Amino acid sequence: MRGAVFCVIIINMGKYYIGTSGYSYNDWVGPFYQEGTKQSDFLSYYASHFPFVELNFSYYRQPSAHMLSRMIDKTPAGFFFSIKAHQSLTHQVTADWGKETDTFLKGITPLLTENRLAAVLLQFPYSFHYTAENRKYLADLCSRFSELPTLVEFRNREWQKEEVYNGLRERNLGLVVTDSPDLKGLPFPEAIVTSSYGYIRFHGRNRKNWWHGDSESRYDYLYSEEELEEWIPKIAYILGKTTVLFIAFNNHRKGQAVQNAIQLQRLLKEREMEVSS
C-alpha cells in the first residue's frame, strides 16, 4: 500500500526527467554507443534515448552561444539541458567573478531563447565551508541568476541547515539533492525542496576512491536495484512539492550512469502501472 501511495504522487504531481551528467565519454562506446559511432553523433544518439542531459564541460571552459546552438540543433524539440557553472564562479573565485558571470550568462543565451534550459547548476566543493564570507558570496552570486532556474549543490554537510534552506526558498533557488558515499562531512541524502523545481544527482557510493580518486575512478559505481528502490519515496516526496524534477546520474564510468538511468526509469514506470491497473 505504501508503494501505491508513492506511485499516485508520481503520476499526479509534476513531471520528471531522467538523464546523465555528460554524454561524451569514449568508454560509453560499446556499453551505450554503437561501435563506430562518431563523437559528433553522440548527442543526437543520446537524445533519442533520454529527455535531458546535464552539461559539465562548462565547468572547465566557458560555454559559447555558437557551441550551444549547435548542440540544440542535434536534439529534438522538448529536449532539455542543465548546465554547470564555470569553475571561476564556484571553485576558483577571483575578484573578476562578476565579469566571469557575464561571460557565462551570455554564452548560455541560446538555451534561454530556445526554451531548452532545465537549470543552471552552482556546484560548490567540499572546501566551500559555511562561513559568513561564503554566505555573502553565495547571496551575491545567486542574485545574478535570479531570473533563471538556478540550483545550488553543496558538497559539505555544514550547509545542511534550516536557515540555509529558508534562504534558498526566499530566493526561489533550488537545492540539489545528492546521493554520494556515506562519509564524514558529505551531505546526508535528504529530500529537501526549496523551489518549484527539484534536482537529484546520483554520484555513486565509491567510498574507496572518493577522496583520493580522479574524476573517473571517484564515480566508478553501479547502483543496485535495491539502492535505487530506496530513493523512490524521496522522489515521490519531491515530485509532490515541485512542478518538475530532473534526475541526473553522474556515475559515468563505463556507461554505468546510462544503465542506472534506464533502470530507475523502469522502476518508476512499474510503479505507475501498478496504480493504473
Give yes or no for residue 9 having a pLDDT over 70.
no
Question: pLDDT tens for residues 242-260?
Answer: 999 999 999 999 999 999 9
Q: Which CATH class is domain 2-260?
A: alpha beta
Alpha-carbon span 65 to 149, nearest angstrom: 18
Angle at 193 between CA 187 and CA 195, to 5 degrees: 125
Alpha-carbon span 104 to 239, nearest angstrom: 30
The structural domains of the chain, with segments of one domain joined by +, span 2-260
Taking CA atoms, 176 is separated from 36, 95, 106, 155, 265, in Å, by 36, 26, 24, 10, 19
Q: What is the pLDDT of residue 199?
A: 98
The position carrying cell 529534438 is 76
95 Cβ contact list (under 8 Å, min separation 6):
none
Give yes or no for residue 3 having a pLDDT over 70.
no
Alpha-carbon span 143 to 256, nearest angstrom: 36
**Among the listed residues 229, 234, 224, 216, the one whose alpha carbon sits nearest the alpha carbon of residue 178:** 234
Question: pLDDT tens for residues 11-46?
Answer: 344 599 999 999 999 999 999 999 999 999 999 999
Q: What is the pLDDT of residue 212?
A: 87
- Mean pLDDT for all residues in the chain: 92
